[in-house]
C-alpha cells in the first residue's frame, strides 16, 4: 500500500507530531505515515485518495459501512458525520486509496481492520476540472450568434414583461414631496 499525501496534509501531520498533543499510538502512526508517504500537489492527487475534508465510506472489521468526513479541527465535529484526524482511524485512512485496507491499533491493545470502500467527495478533485471534459468542450463547435430577429424578439419580450406586468403604462414615479 502506497500512502499518498498532499503537501498540505503532510504539513498538518507534521504539526500534529510536533505539537505533542497526540497519544503515543497516534504519534507512532503519524511518524510511520510521514516516513512512508509520497508527497504530491493537491492538483495532482488521484480523486480516489483520502485527503483532509474528504467524504469517505469505510468498514471496520467487516461491519456495516460508515460514511464520515475527515476533519482536522474539533470545532467542526458533528457526531456521526465526521471523523477527526487526531484519532487512530483518522490518521490511518489519510492518504489511503479506495479499496485499500490497513490494520489500526486500538487503545485497548487490540487491532482492527479498516477498509476504505470509496472516496465519495474529495475537495482537491472538486477544484480540479476534468481534463477530458475540457477537451470535449474545446472540440465542440461554438454557439452561433443569435440573429437580429431573435435579438429584437427577446428585447420586445423583456420590454413587455417588466416588474409590473399588469400595468400597461408606467406610473409617474415616486412623488417629490
**Three-state SS at 24:** helix
**Residue 73 pLDDT:** 80
**Is residue 39 domain-shared with residue 120, that is, in the same domain?**
yes
For 155-171, write each residue's pLDDT tens digit.
Answer: 777 776 655 545 555 55
Q: Residue range 98-121: average pLDDT?
A: 93
| Residue 99 backbone phi and psi in degrees, to 5 | 95, -10
Q: Give a yes or no: residue 121 inside a domain.
A: yes
Q: For the chain, where are the alpha helices, taking DSSP H only?
A: 7-19, 24-36, 88-93, 123-127, 131-139, 148-160
Residue 102 lies in domain: 4-127
What is the model's pTM? Answer: 0.70
Q: Give a yes or no: residue 169 inside a domain.
A: no
**Is residue 75 domain-shared with residue 138, that is, in the same domain?**
no
**Three-state SS at 93:** helix
Q: How confident is the model at residue 115 (pLDDT cuts 50, 70, 90)?
A: very high
**Residue 175 pLDDT:** 59
C-alpha cell at 145: 450568434
Count how many domains the chain has. 2
Q: What is the DSSP letter of 163?
A: S
Q: How confident is the model at residue 142 (pLDDT cuts 50, 70, 90)?
A: confident
* Residue 50 confidence (pLDDT) above 80: yes
Amino acid at each position: 500500500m502506497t500512502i499518498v499525501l498532499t503537501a498540505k496534509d503532510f504539513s498538518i501531520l507534521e504539526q500534529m507530531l510536533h505539537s505533542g498533543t497526540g497519544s503515543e499510538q497516534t504519534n507512532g502512526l503519524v511518524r510511520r505515515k510521514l516516513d512512508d508517504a509520497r508527497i504530491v500537489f493537491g492538483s495532482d492527487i488521484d480523486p480516489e485518495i483520502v485527503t483532509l475534508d474528504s467524504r469517505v465510506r469505510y468498514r471496520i472489521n467487516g461491519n456495516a459501512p460508515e460514511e464520515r468526513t475527515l476533519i482536522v479541527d474539533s470545532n467542526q465535529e458533528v457526531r456521526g458525520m465526521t471523523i477527526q484526524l487526531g484519532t487512530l482511524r483518522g490518521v490511518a485512512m489519510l492518504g489511503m486509496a479506495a479499496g485499500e485496507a490497513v490494520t489500526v491499533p486500538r487503545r485497548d491493545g487490540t487491532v482492527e481492520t479498516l477498509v476504505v470502500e470509496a472516496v465519495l467527495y474529495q475537495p482537491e478533485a472538486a477544484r480540479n476540472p476534468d481534463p477530458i471534459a475540457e477537451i470535449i468542450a474545446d472540440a465542440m463547435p461554438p454557439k452561433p450568434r443569435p440573429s437580429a430577429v431573435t435579438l429584437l424578439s427577446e428585447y420586445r419580450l423583456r420590454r413587455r414583461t417588466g416588474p409590473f406586468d399588469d400595468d400597461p403604462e408606467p406610473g409617474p414615479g415616486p412623488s417629490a414631496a
